[in-house]
Structure 1
Amino acid sequence: MKRPPVFRQQIFRPRRARRPGRPHPRLKGLSINHLLPNVLTVLALCSGLTAIRFAMQERWEPAVIAIVIAAILDALDGRIARLLNGQSKFGAELDSLSDAISFGVAPAFMMYLWGLNGAGSLGWIAAMAYAVCCALRLARFNSRLGVVDLPPWAYNYFTGVPAPAGAGLVLLPMILGFEIGPQFPGHPAVIVPWTLLIGGLMVSTLPTFSFKGAQVPAHWVVPALAGVGLLAAMMVSQPWWTLSIVGIAYMVSLPFSIAQFRKLQRAAELMRTEIGEEAPDAQETESQATEAATSEGEVRKPV
């Protein structure tokens, strides 16, 4: 008899082929172009929170300065993001959250501690209404991001008062109170309607100047630069009067922005009507030419 082979069974099994593993998700690093605008946005948020801290200590002047710094940083981050091509969805969301705190919660908190608390529950309602209107205005702005259904002439206008301008306007009685005293500007009968008015302007559909696409003519460049230098000198020497004048000038510009917007709207409608009237005339002329050519036997096939 033959003995069965001892080493018939395989001792070393062949290795199974490994399945290709899924690539591990890795966080991509951010370039300086994408990081710098977000840094400015975070600094604006910190400035708004610092304004709340100063308000709790009843240090009103540093609180207003902190809001002004937040507005300057908010104006810079978007423009730097566009210049460096560093726009991102994360940056847009962070900017809106920062604006809601710096220009919504912080000014409402400051105005309530400064004078609205003298009106009792009505003052608290006015402060909450302003903060809610600011949040609604920012939510509406975010919902319109990427929408390009506006006509070309309407891109130089905001819908309603923007959040930084609203913060400056709602603090205008406090700023005036630094110079003329808080008796009249800080009276509840004045600041309660004023706070509600500014909140309503923020959520309104009124067109306001954006000044983003404004172009300075060549012969006005030097006077404009001189005006900027004069404004800077006034801010250093008389900051509260200067901010008050700027705020009042912005309120005065609202009727002009509405009138200019409606003027452009009427001009666009007139142009559209003229184009619509010319199109049937052209079609009628073409049909008459076709009939004439048909009668003469010279109709050609379209190429």
Structure 2
Amino acid sequence: MASKRNKRPERGISLRAFAPNAVTALALCVGLSGVRFAYMENWVLAAGAVVLAGILDALDGRVARLLNAESRFGAELDSLSDVIAFGVTPALILFFWSLQNMPQFGWVISLTLAVGCALRLARFNAQIDDDDQPHKSAGFLTGIPAPVGAGLAMLPLYLWMITDLELFRHYSIVGPWIVVNAFLLISNTATYSWSSLRLRKNIRLEALMLFALMGVALITSPWVTLAAISVAYIALIPFSIRSYAKVKRQRELDAN
């Protein structure tokens, strides 16, 4: 009984878990700052805020695994941050930039991106303890991740900043593109994750050099690079579907 009385309940989060959660909170603040920049019509900083939030979002999970500080609190905070930074923020940016000029349905279409992101993350949280996840067990994702959805949704904005053509800003282009991305977020499409990608030993140095050059390109020509990455990711989706279909067929054969 004495040991139970002397055992103090844990309060708050551990010091070890502070770092990854701080990165997540920073990603939330940086992403949401994009709304302020959009309100000021500073589209470069608005898009840059979302991109930087995506980089921070990629870091927080790795910091948590490095420190062995993964927790349910961190997972919930990460989901809330993602909804705001990659759902609400790009929806508002694209509304201020383009869809506010659309008759009647501009706001509704903007909301589809925020709702799609929220539904995706709600599904993820609901299945977080579910062992029966065929895509995850095979190293694939279900639908496109929230940061990717935000980045892809802003592809017309990247193209507009590259070319200065008002065509890419027109709601007839932006509206349908947002809806497509919203449905990709909540779809059951199998998409590549880092664990599903395998590099052959003889090209790993080349891949490392390509990754480094991509980082330099993001600094020197960010919008061209982001547009190219977006197009490349879209082009990879059919290949990811085909790759998962092969894995699924092999599993069915092994089961029989």
CA contact (8 A) 1:153 1:264 kept: no
Partner of 1:193: 176
Q: Aligned partners of 2:74, 2:179: CA distance in 1, in Å?
A: 30
Pick aligned residue for 2:124 from 127, 133, 141: 141
Does the aligned pair in 2 maintain the 1:105–1:131 contact within 8 Å?
yes
Q: Secondary structure at the match of 2:246?
A: helix
Gaps of 5+ in 2: none
% identical equivalent positions:
41
Give 3-state SS (helix, strand or coil) of 1:87's partner: coil
Kindly state the Cα deviation for residue 151 of structure 1 after the two structures are TM-superposed. Answer: 4.6
More helix by share: 2
The one of 221, 225, 238 equivalent to 1:238 is: 221
Which residue, 79, 85, 94 being the options, matches 1:96? Answer: 79
Find the partner of 2:93 among 93, 110, 121.
110
Which amino acid letter does the alignment assign opposite residue 210 of structure 1? S
Deviation at 1:217, TM superposition (A): 2.8
Once the 2 structures are TM-superposed, how far is the Cα of residue 27 of structure 1 from its aligned partner?
Answer: 4.5
Partner of 2:252: 269
Q: What's the CA shift string for 1:105-129, capped at 9, x where partnerless?
A: 0000000000011113211111011
SS in 1 for 2:205: helix
Secondary structure of the 2:195 match is coil
> Size of the alignment, in residue pairs?
253
Quote the residue 2:55 is aligned against: 72
Point out which structure has higher relative CO (alpha carbons under 8 A, 6+ apart).
Answer: 2
C-alpha distance in 2 between matches for 1:203 and 1:131: 11
Q: Deviations over 1:190-221 (max 9, x none)?
A: 11110111001101111111123534332222
Larger radius of gyration: 1
Query: What runs of 5+ residues in structure 1 fail to find an aligned partner?
Result: 1-21, 274-303
Moved over 6 A (4+): 22-25
Q: TM-score, normalised by structure 1?
A: 0.79
With the length of structure 2 as denominator, give the TM-score of the two structures: 0.93
Deviation at 1:23, TM superposition (A): 7.2
Q: Deviations over 1:206-242 (max 9, x none)?
A: 1111123534332222111110121122112211100
1:205 & 1:169 partners in 2: Cα distance?
Answer: 18
Give the equivalent residue in structure 2 for 1:286.
Answer: none
1:136, 1:153 → 2: CA distance?
18
Structure 1 residue 270, shift from structure 2 partner: 1.6
Separation (CA, whole Å) in 2 of partners of 1:233 and 1:116: 33
Residue 20 of structure 2 is matched in structure 1 by 37
Partner SS, residue 146 of structure 1: coil
CA distance in 2 between counterparts of 1:268 and 1:24 reads 48
User: 1:254 is matched by which residue type in structure 2?
Assistant: I
Please provide the CA RMSD for this pair: 1.9
- 1:141 & 1:201 partners in 2: Cα distance? 14
